[in-house]
Structure 1
Amino acid sequence: MKQKKISLLVQVLVGSALLSGIATAADLEGHSLELKVRGIYFDRDYETDTNDRSQSALGLQLNYESPYFGDIIGFGLSGYSVIKLDASGRMTSDVLKVNSDGDAQDGFGKIGQAFIKFKYQDLANAKLGRQLHRSMLLSSSGSRAIPNTFSGGTGEIRPLKGLSIYGAMYDEWSPRADAHFYKFKTDKSDEGDIDYIGILGASYENGPFSVDLEYLNAKNFLSKTGLVAAYTFALPNKSSLKLTGGIHTSSDDGRLFVTASESAELDDEDVPGSANKKSDNDGQGIFIAADWKLGNLALGAAVSKFDGAWIEDNFAGDHGTNPFPTGGVLADFSNRDELVWMASVGYDWKDFVKGLKTSVSYKKGTGAKNSHVRSRGEADESELAVDVRYQVPIVKGLGVRYTSLDYRSDKTGRLDGVKEDEIDHRFYIDYTYRFF
């Protein structure tokens, strides 16, 4: 098995080298080939000592993308590889996947992206195949050794200046710690029972004003909508104030939404006689946020209020995309009846240490209730996050990052959306080299 993984990686590297040769022979203009290397280390300390663990790995990406030939068609190809460095404590899929024998896998390689792209002037573009995705309600996570990717099609049209209308439909995805692509499912269904994940959205920007609208549908399981508007005020002394407001909803969408089909966030199994029966969700969250920038200093504040439980994960295995500025890293902070506030401060130290940036944020959620029976559980929760990033000036493309996360909860009864206490230390070393 290990030999097979190495063989796949060699094929990816050789294939990308051939693409490099083709591009060089033709004309480098418009071609892109880059190597991304990431060293990653996670140390996770839980309230329950038996859950403690640490994992480290080396992630490699070799990304090639062609120009649009004839100004119409092009393609992209990316080879991903993850190599285990160390793993200890409880064996669970995190940076590394756990094999059937209970040990962290030694590594793997895969074709993470392989797509054909199309465009028509500056009016429309599309992609077919394996690709990264980033939008309001669905994104490829970048917090592990490699990102997760999706397989399907995307498209965008820009009929007016500042207006973008886009859509996507995927029928497979590849997790960030796995070599394979899988059909979508719920926590209770078989693989492929969710036929597709579909997205339709629009974005409009005009000077300091912007508005974004997006709809997501996990077929026969879950649907979501999101609406966000923002306005940026120019203030004296080259400072600015950005005000943002939004509303997001989640709701059950058919036969696959049964008891425990979303086991990590809902408490529908707490309803007497509900086992293996149709369930429901009608979650809504609203927020307002303010971000003030003055020179190298950035200050932020936000508050969110939830009516019902807003579901972050779109399918089983998904780590979700949280569009709320009050969303946490270790927990969602989007439970029924929960009120969440956030404050943050960031500073760019370039006048003292070039390349150094730091930020601190604190989130506090109160009044969270059991998603289906209020009396069965209530909780408060908080998360303190410290983020230090340093882009090494003397080595182009080299950066290091350290993140500390301290999550605390005070829970009575049953409330799956609130987790046990946890302290995380995360280290990243990233290097990017562009061949052309």
Structure 2
Amino acid sequence: MERVKFSVFMLSLISTSSFANGFIDDSKIKLTTRNYYLDRSFTEHNDVIPGTKDWAQGFIFNFNSGYTPGIIGFGLDVQTLTSVKLQGDAKYLPSGLLPTDPQSREREKTASEIGATAKVKYKQTELKAGTLQPWTPVIFSSPSRLLPQTFLGGMIQSKDIKDLELIGGYISQVNHRDSTNYEDLSNIGFNQRFKVAQTDQFSFAGAKYNFSENTQFGLYYAMADDIYNQAALTLKNNHQLNKDLNLISDIRIWNSQENGAAKAGKIDNTLATANFGLDYNNHRLTFSTMQNYGDTAHPYLSGGEVLIFIDGWSTDFLNAKEQVYGMRYDYDFKDYVPGLKFMTRYTKGREIKLAYSNDKHKEDSLDFDLGYTIQSGHLKGLGLRARYAIYDNDFGAKASFKPADETRINVDYTWTFK
């Protein structure tokens, strides 16, 4: 309620004619509709629960104002999110698409929420307060379901120094992808890796520097109070080998330790990822590895993912001691069917240490992704995407991730009104 009152105050302040020029003239208004079907069918340990299955329609409306005139500009962003259940049965686990009663597993038929963000700009420095969607290696607003995950707090970004981008923020609460309520943040506890602990204090800072047009370096740090500290380093580079062949390198390293009262228990993990891709005309072949060092798994906030290239749909490949290797192939049909793209990848994890087992375990996933965006006509921009994954592991019935065949289908379209 306090956020709504503040938003009304900001609108009344900025709507006067003296402020209208930049605020209204530079504003952007968009509505994205997203139709999402997710079916994860367990192939083992499915005698009680067969998997997860939901079909839903989502609406994402964004009003992003410009800034009022003057040395210091003021603005306001408003986002409304709505989900509509098309199919959802309580015999299945929640998929993350729809708000669900935790006891009965009944999905809500419709749900809506509104978020507001006040913003201030001086030169190339922006300060935002309210609803946030940060996109960094240490805190990441997940877009992988029907509606995006959002956070409540404050964030500052600056691009005043050439080739350098600075970011910092303080987060107190999270609104998950399948929820309309803000709550304290918590860490993930998949496969009994950690105790699930809560905090209302998460701070982060980072810098991203472009050494050249083709080389970028990033350094970030975050602290989830009384749960964990985390540092992250990123290095990206594109190297043109010849006129037809391009080498893409992407290296990311995280180091995580328990913090303060250590409510989640011991945390000791260094996660190193390396991805090397070769671009040749419409083809891209990528080789990847991800190594988990230390005594525990990699910690991250619940309700989302980690910003890594190896992105398993039915798992996260972030268990203690896990060694991951993957190969991915992408093809762009732009010369034949513009807008059509295909991806397939195989990822294998081994040497996994689980909290409830003394054995070493393994997992693997074979994924397919086919997407098409209409390029012209009345439906220009309409996106169709189908994904299929075959996931397997030997974790046993206690595992959070179970062997499964998974299908995802999306239909997205965005109307731009201004």
Aligned equivalent of 1:200: 205
TM-score normalised over the length of structure 2: 0.86
1:209 aligns with 2:191: no
Question: In 2, Cα distance between the equivalents of 1:82 and 1:327?
Answer: 25
1:150 corresponds to which letter in structure 2? F
Alignment-derived partner of residue 83 in structure 2:
82
Distance of 2:348 and 2:123 partners within structure 1: 48
Identify unmatched segments of 5+ residues in structure 1. Answer: 1-7, 262-278
- Check if 1:48 corresponds to 2:45: yes
- The one-letter amino acid of 2:38's match is F
Q: 1:250 aligns with which of 246, 251, 256?
A: 256
- In the aligned structure 2, how far is the partner of 1:396 from the partner of 1:324? 31
Between the two proteins, what is the percent identity of the paired residues? Answer: 24
Q: Distance between the aligned counterparts of 2:333 and 2:342, measured in 1?
A: 8
- The answer to whether residue 315 in structure 2 is matched with residue 331 in structure 1 is yes
What CA distance in whole angstroms lies between the structure 2 residues aligned with 1:412 and 1:425? Answer: 23
The alignment status of 1:59 with 2:43, answered yes or no, reads no
127 and 424 in structure 1: CA distance in 2 versus 1, 3 angstrom threshold: same
Per-residue displacement from partner, 1:241-294 (whole Å, max 9, x unpaired)?
12232321222112242xxx4xxxxxxxxxxxxxxxxx3111112222211112
Deviations along 1:127-171, whole A, 9 cap, x unmatched? 111122211122111121110111110002235211112111111
| Partner residue, 1:265 | none
Give the aligned residue type for 2:54: Q
Q: Give distance in 2, aligned partners of 1:136 and 1:93.
A: 24
Q: After superposition, where does 1:25-424 map in structure 2 within 5 Å?
A: 29-46=25-42, 47-49=44-46, 50-70=49-69, 72-88=73-89, 89-92=91-94, 94-99=96-101, 100-111=103-114, 113-122=115-124, 124-185=125-186, 193-207=198-212, 208-257=214-263, 261=264, 279-308=265-294, 309-314=296-301, 318-370=302-354, 376-393=358-375, 394=377, 395-411=379-395, 416=399, 419-424=401-406
1:248–1:194 distance in 2 versus 1, CA, 3 Å = same
Aligned residues: 390
Alpha-carbon RMSD across the aligned residues, in angstroms, is: 2.8
Structure 2: where are the runs of 5+ without partners?
190-194
SS class of match (1:160): coil
Q: Deviations over 1:287-343 (max 9, x none)?
A: 2221111221111111122213332432xxx23432333342221212222211111
In structure 1, distance between residues paired with 2:320 and 2:173: 31
Equivalent-residue separation in structure 2 for 1:26 and 1:337 (angstroms)? 57
Cα distance in 1 between the residues matched to 2:249 and 2:238: 6
* SS state at 1:37 partner: strand
- C-alpha contact (below 8 Å) 1:138/1:320 kept by paired residues: no
Quote how far apart the aligned CAs of 1:389 are: 0.8
Q: Does structure 2 conserve the Cα–Cα contact (< 8 Å) formed by 1:327 and 1:334?
A: no
Change in 2 beyond 3 A, CA 1:357/1:162? same
CA contact (8 A) 1:377 1:413 kept: no
Residue aligned with 1:95, SS:
coil
Q: C-alpha deviations, 1:163-205, integer Å up to 9, x for none? A: 1121111111111111111122457678xx5131111111111
On the 8 A contact 2:65/2:76 being kept in 1, the answer is yes
> 1:196, 1:149 → 2: CA distance?
15
Secondary structure of 2:25's partner?
Answer: coil
Give the whole-Å Cα distance in 2 for the aligned partners of 1:310 and 1:225.
Answer: 15
How far apart, CA to CA, are the structure 1 residues paired with 2:306 and 2:342? 22
1:428 alignment partner AA: N
Question: Could you tell me how far apart the structure 2 residues matched to 1:26 and 1:159 are?
Answer: 24
Match of 1:270 in 2: none
Q: 1:26 to 1:226 in 2, by over 3 A?
A: closer
Q: CA deviation at 1:55?
A: 0.6
Q: Give the deviation of 1:235 after TM superposition.
A: 2.1
Is the 8 Å Cα contact of residues 91 and 104 (structure 1) preserved in structure 2?
A: no
Partner of 1:3: none
The corresponding residue for 1:269 is none
CA distance in 2, matches of 1:132, 1:249: 23
Structure 1 residues 93 and 293, CA, compared in 2 at 3 Å: closer, same or farther? closer
Contact 1:232 1:242 in 2 (8 A): yes
Name the SS for the 1:182 alignment partner: coil
The offset of 1:93, in angstroms, is 5.2
1:61 partner SS: strand
The one-letter code matched in structure 2 to 1:293 is: D
Q: Secondary structure at the match of 1:94?
A: coil
Counterparts of 2:176 and 2:33, CA distance in 1: 18
